[in-house]
Amino acid sequence: MQKNQKLEDRLKDKARLVIKVNYFSSIFALLFGLICIFLLDITKVIPYVFLIFGVLNLINTLCYNYHRSLILTYNIVSIMTLTGAIIITLYSGGINSPFIFVLALIVVAGYVTTKAYGTVYLNLNLLIIVLIYSQSIVDFSFVSNVVPEKSKNLFALFSILFSVYLLGGVFGKNLLHAHHNLYKTKNELEEKINEKETLIKEVHHRVKNNLQTISSLLSLQSRNTTDPEVKNLLKSSQNRVISMAMVHEMLYMREDLSNIEYQSYVQELAEYLVRSIKGTSSNISLEIDIPEIKLNIDTAIPLGLLINETLTNALKYGIINEEKGRIYVKLRKDRDHQFVLNIGDNGKGFSEDVTYKNSQSLGLKLIHNLTRQLQGSIERDLSKKGTHYEMKFKQIRGQTPSVT
């Protein structure tokens, strides 16, 4: 909504500038035409071009109030200005005519309207100037300088004043005003962006704190429970909460508020799970092979939960007791721009007949449901010792995390 309003304001500023320039150029053209007749004693071609241009441009400007097409109004006045300027230049000295500088006004007006129009009129005017120069080399009998010798200096003075006033007094003043408004808007947008980033950081910080509070509550509940199975469930839930809290902590700590560097996240998560389940003096070796990949929060959280479940199963049921074990996590992109996650261990594994459908394991069900949430596919490699998965997925956007 705000973007559309700003675009509309910019179009209104352009329209006001073009209309104001049209009115000024029409009035000056009429005055210049009268000056040519009554003061400069120019009675052929030039004054009539000024007068005709002034009248037609006033009509063109007034018609804008009915059709409201800025492009149409601009192109009509540009074509009339270009035609009139060429005629006046040819009949006032050709390449030596001071009125030739009016051609630059058309180029400036074009760039004010759009970059494309500015480029078109720039190239067109360069070609016209070359042709006017060619006319000065080859004698055309039907074109002659109609400005009397005694009026040449005054005609040059009025031509330069006409060009400078329109270029500086009208275009320059209004462009400076437009630039000031844009600069003011830019500062306001930067301020709002900074406020938004600060707010988002604060949200991530509070979410992280809330998740850590939940984790602490689960930990306290676990200590007050003697049932090993309940204690195990509470610990697993605590690890899931921490895996989500880590994402929000990384987003809070880094400049990029929408993506996290996944290599450092997986490294921290894996090391935490090993310490949490096996202790600080475990015989587990971690192999994390992830390049500089950044994932958004909609992908990072469900993928983090999936990795959490896979590593938890490996540490609890795959690599048992104090055995020396190996766990690897590899993430890359394939030729189809899909992410490919390879994750596994060298533990004892489990039967190929066991699936998420016939198993009572919450971990296996979560792995399947999280894969579905990521709109991916997962396969188990039964040819190797231990448990090995290969998952393919694409980065998702704008989805609410769900593992139901």
What pLDDT does residue 56 have? Answer: 93
How far apart are the C-alpha atoms of 357 and 368, rounded to whole Å? 10
Residue 322 · residue 283 · CB < 8 Å: yes
pTM as predicted: 0.54
**Non-local CB neighbours of 47 within 8 Å, separated by 6+ positions:** 32, 33, 34, 36, 37
Highest CATH level, class, for 259-404: alpha beta
The residue assigned the tokens 């005054």 is 154
Q: What residue spans define the domains of the chain? A: 2-182, 259-404
Per-residue pLDDT of the chain (404 residues; tens, 9 = 90+): 454 555 566 666 666 767 777 888 888 889 989 999 999 999 999 999 999 999 999 999 888 888 888 788 878 888 888 899 889 998 998 888 888 888 877 777 777 667 777 788 888 888 888 888 887 676 655 678 899 989 999 998 888 887 777 776 556 666 666 666 666 777 777 777 777 777 777 777 787 788 788 878 888 888 888 888 888 788 888 888 888 887 777 766 666 657 778 888 888 888 888 888 888 767 888 899 988 888 888 888 888 888 888 888 888 888 887 778 889 999 998 877 789 999 988 888 777 777 667 776 777 888 888 888 888 888 888 888 888 999 998 887 654 444 44
How far apart are the C-alpha atoms of 181 and 175, rounded to whole Å? 10
> Residue 381: how many CB atoms within 10 A of its CB?
12
Query: In this structure, which amino acid lies at residue 279?
Result: G
